[in-house]
Amino acid sequence: MVFGVNPGSMKSHQRFSEKNNFPFSLLVDDGGEVGQAYGARTLQKIAPLRTVVGIDKRGVVVYYQRGMPSTDEILAGMAGAGA
């Protein structure tokens, strides 16, 4: 299951998701607590740092990459997750 998490508003998430035809949900990180927990915030905690985190079915982080890794990189990093 895939989710996007961002501190933006629900309305901005809906527009962004529709514009990009995302086949997954975007979740609102009100207060930035999720981003903080995963180290995906700037030092000043002003803006999120684009970070991809893969979590397996057991809740274990199996992939972590800042920036915009390619789909192939993400899939390779997630290979075997959730066993």
Residue spans of beta strands (DSSP E) within the chain: 3-6, 25-28, 51-55, 61-66
Length reported for the chain: 83
- Point out the least confidently predicted range of 20-24, 31-35, 48-52, 79-83: 79-83
Contact 70, 62 (CB under 8 A): no
pLDDT digits (tens, 9 = 90+) for 29-47: 888 888 888 888 766 666 6
* Confidence (pLDDT) at 11: 93
Task: State mean pLDDT over 14-18.
Answer: 89
Return all residues near 44 (Cβ < 8 A) that are at least 6 apart. Answer: none
Torsions phi, psi of 33, nearest 5? -70, -35
Element (H, E) at 51: strand 51-55
pLDDT digits (tens, 9 = 90+) for 63-75: 888 888 888 988 8
Mean pLDDT, rounded, of the chain: 83
